[in-house]
Every structure is written in C-alpha cells, then in structure tokens.
Amino acid sequence: AQMKDILCNLPREPGADKSCVRVGFVTYNNSVHFYNVKACLAQPQMMVVGDTNEMFMPLLDGFLVDPQESEAVIDSLMQQIPQMFAETRETDIILGPVIQAGMEALKAAECSGKLLIFHTSLPTAEAPGKLKNRDDRKLLATEKEKTILNPQNNFYNNLGQDCVAAGCSVDLFVLNNSFIDLATVGQICRLTGGEVFKYTYFQASIDGERLIADIKYNVGRPVVFDAIMRVRTSTGVRPTDFFGHFFMSNTTDMELASIDCDKAVALEIKHDDKLTEEEGVFVQVALLHTSCSGQRRIRLLNLSLKTCSQMADLYRACELDTIVNFFAKQSLYRLRENPPKQVKDSLVNRCAMMLACYRKNCASPSSAGQLILPECMKLLPLYISCLLKSDAVSGGSDMTIDDRAFVMYAVNIMDIPNSVVYFYPRLIPLHDIDVDSSDIPLPIRCSAEKLRDDGIYLLDNGIHMFLWFGAGLAPDWVQAVFGVPTSAQINTDDTKLPDLDTPLSQRIRELIALIRLERHRFMRLTLVRQRDKMEMLMKHFLVEDRGTDGTASYVDFLCHMHKEIRSILS
C-alpha cells in the first residue's frame, strides 16, 4: 500500500493525466538481484548477478515499467521481498556495484533518471567500492578533521562522474546502526545533483512515517534530468567559483544528472573590469535539461542589476540571507582543504572588514566609539556567530563523523529559506496560542532565558524539531494536548502527539503539520521535559546563548566584533 502511494506521486508534466516516468526494482546484499515486473507476468521474476566485479544488465525487457500497467506484479514483489530475505545473514555488503547496475540499466534504456538507494552499513564485501572502517570522531573540530571529512579513496568520486555522463542521479537513504562513511559514499550524491537522507538506529514504529514521507516528497517534487547549467555575464564581471551538488569538467558548465525545486547552487561573480551606471550588469543562467516526459528543453533566467558609485548605496541593497547562505557553502568547501581555525578566522575577519568598511565610508564621524551597523546588515554578526557554532562548520566529537558529513551535504544544497532557519532556528511559544487562528505564531529569540517554567515551545531548524515544556506547564493544557494530568506524566519517548478531540490538541497538531509542509524533509518530533537529559541537546540549538562547547554567546561575539572593527580602523 505504501509503495502504491509513492508510485501515484511520480512527477508529471503540468496538465498531464499520468506520469511518463518508468520504475525498476533491485535488491542487494553481496550480490545484485534484478526483478522483471512486466505487466503480462503472473509473478515477478528474479535474476541474480553474483560477479560484482563485472556488473552488467541481465534484463532489458520488463525491468523499467509503467507502474500503473504493472501495478499487480509490483504489489506481489513488495509482499515477497521481506519473505525472500527473512533468513539472510550476510554482514558484508556491497554498494558500488548496485550503483553501477542502476547506471547500466538507464544506459540500456537510453534514458536519464534517478536511483533511490536504501543502504544500511559500511560496504565491506570484496567488490568494487569496498571501504575500511576509519571511525575516529576524536579528530572532528581538530586540525586533522579534513582527513575524515574527505573521501578515503576515489572510487565513489569516479563512479559519480560516470553517473553524470550517463544522466544518472543518486539519492542515498542511509539506515545505519554504525559508521557508514558518508564522507566517502555521499560523494556520489554530491557529484550527481543528488541528496542524502539519514535515519540512524531506524525503527519502523518510530521512523517509518518519516521515511515514507521523505520518499513520497522526494519522488513527487518537480525535477529535471541530465542538465547542464551555464552562467553568462555582461562585460566587467565573471563567475569564478561554484558551490553545490554538481560536477564540473570545465570552468564554465555545471553538470547535474538531476536538479529539483529544492536544490540551490551558489556562485561568486567577480568584478574584473570597468562598470558604468548607465550600462549596469546582466546575468543569465541557462539550464539545458531533459523534462520528466523526456523532452530536451532550455530554461533561461535573466537578471538585470544596477551598479552604483556610492558605498552607502551598495550597503543599502545588500541581501543578508543570501550572503549567509553563500558564506556557509564557501566555508564548507574550504573546510575540506584547510584547518577549521583558519576557515573560522577568515569568516570573522570578513565580517569585521565588511562592517569596518561601512563604518569608515558611510557612518557619521560623530558616532566614534559606537558599533554602527548598516540597516540591511544589522544581523550579520548574529548570523556569522550562528554559522561558526553550527554543526556543519563546527561539529565536534560529541557528534558522529556521519552526522557531521550529513549536515555538510544538507547545507551544500540548501536554498535561502532553509539555510536561514537552519542557522537561526525558529522558536515558537505555544502556551498562549490562539486556537481559532490558523497562522504560525510569531517566533521569539533563540535563547534559554526566553523559556518560561510554565511555557511550552516548538523549535525547528529544518532538520530537527523539538517540543520543550516547562515543569510548571498548566495541567489543563497538558490534559488537552497530551491526555495526562501533569507534565511529569508525559511520555517523552513518543514522537507524535495523541489524536485528542480538543480544539487545542487539533490546533497544535495542525501547526506541526503546517511547519513540516514548509520543509522538504519530514522532521521527527522530539519531546523534551525541562531539566531532562535531552534538554542539553535541544539547548545546543538556542544559538544566542553560550555554546555547550564553550563557544561565545551572541552578546560576547558582538563585543568581539566591535573590538575587531576598531582595530581595523585604527
């Protein structure tokens, strides 16, 4: 039934009755099993390729099918797979050959497409793509962290480039209980325009809903395949650096085996010649791609920009959220080559230089000694402080190497709205919520001093969602939403709220659903009772406070920034 729902969701052209996308199924452990699900068959047929060193496609007719025509055979396959492998005890599994198999299938069908791969452990079987266990989280946040955040060999990078050439994109759904080396295997997603989803210690009763929601959304969103993106500019400026999930075989073209509505790429455009206010600057993004119906198309985005000769005009037109998104992607790129301290110092220095330049050229001289910030950049120090503290940039040995690699991949493709809430989470008070409204209540500042003992707050950063409640939360509120008399009786192991027939319960559940709709990942709800052990984890995301690892609070960082600016100016 779940698979039927997922396949009903396949992308289609606007106005089309049905999707043109075809689907195929493969399972694997230390060999690869292909399934013939041709509509005319009474039962699915399995073909096994055991020689994983020479991967080939054993099945042409009946592998990629129309899911509506083959509905009954696919249904039968879904029921048989759990029984077929119930007694399987292989612990050494492969990964590289199954990606090669998917790529070969698309090549044989002469079409582009996407692989959704569900993987559970480090590929240690004797086969292409075999990896060593190098789990040493003590290296995170040290000078040596790049040794574990870069891939341990080039196999998945090379395979990624082969996939791009074949128009084959890869999304990896990782359901691991131990180290899986995402820094290495995730390269396949980074190079093909794909994405990583992660469900550590997966339990169907807790994470099943999240997995199904993520697959449904992933499969159904607008997507194009086998794309080449080129950015052209008018004389005087040129694109120099590119950040995101794609492959570049030259200095101008971003090659994306697929790109969807949630992926963002960042690029730096440098000023290298004379510009005039009369002529301005023009930027054109051209995306040559294959639509989900198989048509080759081109999409053009044209942007006309003004130039100015006054520094104040430049600061007045700054787009802070975009600056932060760009700095984040650029910093992650630099972390793969440079020590973390160097990357962080560079961020602080650039922030100070930008603000010192404003102070020197745009602020009135009478304000000597004060911290003067441009209107559009008032929050730059706050966001730089959040960026420096974030798990993507600073995650240390209190997280796993795979968790760190996962958030780095996630930030690498984030669009602006998602990066804003990732670096500065949204903290919403719920104790005074209006049950008759359908709006999301206004968020408050992300600090522990804003949490009241008699309050309840929802925190979301696009990846995690916490519901924190104080020890003094009103019993009638607790009864209406949790169905128990006191907050001490709330079961914090629950990942969803009980379905109670009260206006307050309905309003809170609708609000959580509304917030989830804004994100392209399904966020699991974690309940946190005041002064419980989980509170430490949730407080890690209260970014205005001093970090649990000793990083500066926002107020302290602001003072440091003021000192840096004064030192630059003197």
**pLDDT at position 376, please?**
94
Token output for 223: 């997507």
Q: What is the pTM of this model?
A: 0.96
Residue 544 lies in a domain: no
Residue 84 lies in a domain: yes
**pLDDT at position 179, please?**
98
**pLDDT at position 190, please?**
98
**pLDDT at position 347, please?**
97
The Cα–Cα gap between 246 and 72 comes to 37
**431 in the same domain as 414:** no
**133 in the same domain as 28:** yes
Q: What does 116-171 look like in DSSP terms, one character per residue?
A: EEEE-S---SSSTT-------GGGTTSTTTHHHHS-SSSHHHHHHHHHHHTTEEEE
Token output for 92: 């050494």
**pLDDT at position 365, please?**
75
**pLDDT at position 367, please?**
66
**pLDDT at position 363, please?**
83
**415 in the same domain as 439:** no
* Strand 525-529 to 465-469 pairing: parallel
pLDDT beneath 70, residues of the chain? 366-368
CATH code (residue 379): 1.20.120.730
Residue 545 lies in a domain: no
**Packed helices 380-389 and 554-569: angle between N→C axes, nearest 10 degrees:** 120
CATH code (residue 467): 3.40.20.10
Residue 257 lies in a domain: yes
Q: For residue 45, which of 63, 30, 68 has the smallest C-alpha distance?
A: 63
**pLDDT at position 542, please?**
98
CA dihedral 514, 518, 522, 528 (to 10 degrees): -60
**149 in the same domain as 269:** no
End-to-end CA distance of the chain: give it in Å, rounded: 69
Residue 320 domain boundaries: 309-420+552-570
How many folded domains does the chain comprise? 4
Residue 546 lies in a domain: no
Residue 139 lies in a domain: yes
- Residue 461 Cα distances to 110, 351, 388, 523, 542, angstroms: 40, 23, 16, 9, 11
**pLDDT at position 1, please?**
78
**320 in the same domain as 233:** no
- The amino acid occupying position 482 is F
**91 in the same domain as 11:** yes
Domain boundary among 220, 239, 270: 220
**227 in the same domain as 81:** no
CATH code (residue 287): 2.60.40.1670
Distance of CA 125 to the CA centre of its chain: 29
**570 in the same domain as 528:** no
Residue 471 lies in a domain: yes
**pLDDT at position 89, please?**
84
**141 in the same domain as 242:** no
Domain boundary among 169, 195, 220: 220
CB within 8 A of 224, min separation 6: which ones?
A: 258, 259, 260, 287, 289, 290, 291, 292, 297
Collapsing DSSP states into helix, strand and coil, what is residue 228?
A: strand
CB within 8 A of 326, min separation 6: which ones?
A: 243, 266, 268
Helix (H) or strand (E) holding 422: helix 416-423
**407 in the same domain as 327:** yes
The Cα–Cα gap between 34 and 43 comes to 14
The Cα–Cα gap between 231 and 244 comes to 14
Residue 349 lies in a domain: yes
**95 in the same domain as 85:** yes
CATH code (residue 51): 3.40.50.410
Domain boundary among 307, 327, 357: 307
**460 in the same domain as 398:** no
